[in-house]
Amino acid sequence: MRHARRRIVRRTARLAAVGGLLVGATMVTRAVAGEPSDVSAAPHTSVRTTAGTGAGLVSRLGTSRTAGHWVGSDGRPVVAVTDERTAERVRRAGAEAKVVRHSMSALKSAARALRSAPRVPGTAWALDYRSNEVVVRGDSTVSGSDWSRLTGVARDIGEFVRMERTDGTFTTRLNGAEPILSTAGRCSAGFNVTDGRSDFVLTAGHCGPTGSVWFGDDGGDRQVGRTVAGSFPGDDFSLVEYADGKAGDGADVVAVGDGKGVRITGVGEPAVGQRVFRSGSTTGLRDGRVTALDATVNYPEGTVTGLIETDVCAEPGDSGGPMFAEGIALGVTSGGSGDCDKGGTTFFQPLPEAMESLGVRLIVSPREGAGPGAAPSSPAATGGGGTAPGAAAPGAVAPVPDVNGSTLLSRLTDRRNVGPGMLVVAGSLIALVATRWIRAEQDRKAYRRHYSTTWG
């Protein structure tokens, strides 16, 4: 009876080990098959796919039948359309449709009319796709007579121009995340870029004119570089060439503080409703949502157009710092109103437009999609952005990892990698060898007992 039980136990163990081998092999096969064939391609995230769907529909259907797109609260793409027939086309494409009165052509025409009116410092406007309106805001510096005059312009345009007063003032946000300093002021470094010959920091244009020399410490002992190009007002971007021509190790990493960092894997354009992150030396890492696009801000220094409007807070000292989402670089901090105690509005210079104008490309991770990255070896490695952000998704912030941007344990336990399958295979092999050894040892002992009884 005892021998029968032992045989049952051994057979069960062998079957379990063989089953483990089969399961582990299947896991490895699926993980290998699921890896992207082109590791240099930008990662495809759910938000980017959603935004791409909406942008594609708007592009195909045209500005006379659509009025923008955004990411809905459920994560689905929403497209504003002007008639039910177009709405049906949107729904068949897998997106949600919202029928509105005014097309994108009408919204942009209203924005042009506002831009042609006499300039009023302290005002801003943007296209609000979700409300199908052009929202005009005036800060506390705008006089009653100027506001009344601008209200008259809005009334002549149409009822879809909404006027709002806001607290605080619209100012550029000088200073920054892990600061760079010059005689022009103190700013945040944004993203590292290159033209193929030299490396640069791309930051805000209002930080300083061409020729400004930037340092990485208060004592002025470590020169970062010199501003060689830029645009402000009109746009708000500038290019700081590194003193030695190279960004250094970790140029693709944006630090987020506490020894953590995010690898930047590509550049893109945001969608209304998308969650984004930004960082600066004054307020550190902050997050919020994109509320509008194609915003115009009348700063005291001049007017800047084509900005990204967000509800991310910022304060003086955060200018030039990077904005990103899910490892994708989106823009650099321009200015805004409010603060991080009460909240406010912050505007960002879109990155694709700035890079195209400057003739540079983003320095990105050599293994895109690797996820969170190691903190840079020095502030200069990220263009000076020591507390600057990088990517977006909440999971983009992680412990300082290995060179591939993730801890060994997390990679071994990630079901998308071969690690879990290999662990199952190894455990099954050990169990199989162990059962074979136990059986051999039992047979050997049984033989010895038999031999002793026979020849004893």
Catalytic residue set: 206, 236, 319
Residue found under tokens 């336990």: 413
What is d(CA 271, CA 17) in angstroms, rounded to the nearest whole number?
Answer: 50
Q: Can you tell me whether residue 128 is helix, strand or coil? A: strand
Q: What is the DSSP letter of 126?
A: E
Measured CA to CA, the distance from residue 186 to residue 175 in angstroms comes to 4
| Phi, psi (deg, nearest 5) at residue 189 | -75, 150
Are the C-beta atoms of residues 424 and 6 closer than 8 Å to each other?
no
What are the two backbone dihedrals, phi and then psi, of residue 327, each rounded to the nearest 5 degrees? 80, 0
Two tokens, residue 168: 């605080």
- The owner of tokens 């082109």 is 38
**What separation in angstroms does the CA of 400 have from each of 118, 253, 377, 408?**
52, 11, 11, 11
Angle at 138 between CA 132 and CA 142, to 5 degrees: 155
In angstroms, the CA 363 to CA 129 distance is: 32
Spell out the residues 6+ positions from residue 269 whose beta carbon is closer than 8 angstroms to its own. Answer: 51, 55, 330, 350, 352
The CA R_g of the chain, rounded to the nearest whole Å, is: 29
CA 443 to chain centre: 63
What is the spatial distance between Cα 206 and Cα 453, in angstroms, rounded to a whole number? 98
**CB neighbours (10 Å) of residue 31?**
18
Calpha distance 97→81 (Å, rounded): 7
Distance, first Cα to last Cα, the chain: 27
Distance CA 318, CA 347 (A): 11
Dihedral angle computed from the Cα positions of residues 339, 343, 349 and 351, in that order, rounded to the nearest 10 degrees? 120
Would you say the C-alpha torsion 51, 54, 60, 62 has a positive or negative sign? negative
Q: CA 90 → CA 127, 274, 444, distances in Å?
A: 21, 20, 75
358 phi and psi angles, rounded to 5 deg: -90, -10
